Each structure stands twice: as structure tokens, then as C-alpha cells.
Amino acid sequence: MEKTSKFTDLIVWQKAHQLVLDIYLATKSFPKEELYGLVSQLRRAAASIPANISEGYKKRSFLDKIRFLNIAESSLEEAKYYLILANDLKYTDTTKLLNTSEEVGRLINAYVNGIERNK
């Protein structure tokens, strides 16, 4: 696994961050009554993904790193549900966002596997 000097060098973080930006853009058009409901929940869950990747990046112990990546995975699953809900409520077509979230999930899994190999 190639060494990085900062968390922003990680492709998994870059893709997760882009997902957050895309979700913020998509939720701008949601109904105003969802501002403190679905919009807030979805944005929070999405932002938690790259936040936990970055927080785990500097953790020195293997278990700490894996714990933060697991939290990122959990937040990703939560965000996926909200994307499904937004789609079912016809607020926006979330197909592209769900595809991106699947890619982020695969990247987190690959990152975990790389950390485990280098343990």
C-alpha cells in the first residue's frame, strides 16, 4: 500500500468527500419542510463518512483505525437509506448518488483490507 502524508491524499476520502458535496447539492431542492428532517439527517450521515476516514487516518493503533473506518461504513449505510427514502418520496433521482455510495463502500473495504495486510 502506498504511503500518504495526509488524509486528503486518500482516494477513499476524496470519493467520500465528493459524495458529500453531491448530496449537499441534491438536497438544496428538497421541500423546505424537510430542512430539519431528511435534509439534516442525510447531510449529517454523509459528512460523517469522510470525517471518520480522516479521524481514523492518524490513529496509531490498528484497532482504532478499523473502528473509525467501521463508523464510516455505518454512516454510509445510514446515508444510503436516506437516499432510498428521498428517491421513494420523489424528491430527487438518487440513482447516481447510490452508485457513488456503493463505490465509496468498496473503497473503504479495500482500505481496511490494506491496513489489515500491513498490520
Q: What CATH number is associated with residue 27?
A: 1.20.1440.60
Boundaries of domain holding 48 = 8-117
Classify residue 33: in a domain, yes or no.
yes
User: Is the residue at 1 inside a domain?
Assistant: no
pLDDT one-digit tens code per residue, 56-96: 999 999 999 999 999 999 999 999 999 999 999 999 999 99
Q: Residue 78, class by beta-carbon neighbours within 10 Å (0-12 exposed, 13-18 middle, 19+ buried)? A: middle
CA distance 21 to 19: 5
Distance CA 46, CA 75 (A): 7
Residues 6+ apart with CB under 8 A from 117: 1
How many separate domains does the chain show? 1
Distance of CA 73 to the CA centre of its chain: 7
Average pLDDT, whole number, for the chain?
96
Residues of the chain with pLDDT > 90, as a percent, come to 94
| Each residue's pLDDT tens digit, 38-57 | 999 999 999 999 999 999 99
Is residue 2 in a domain? no
Residue 3 domain flag: no
- Residue 49 covered by a domain: yes
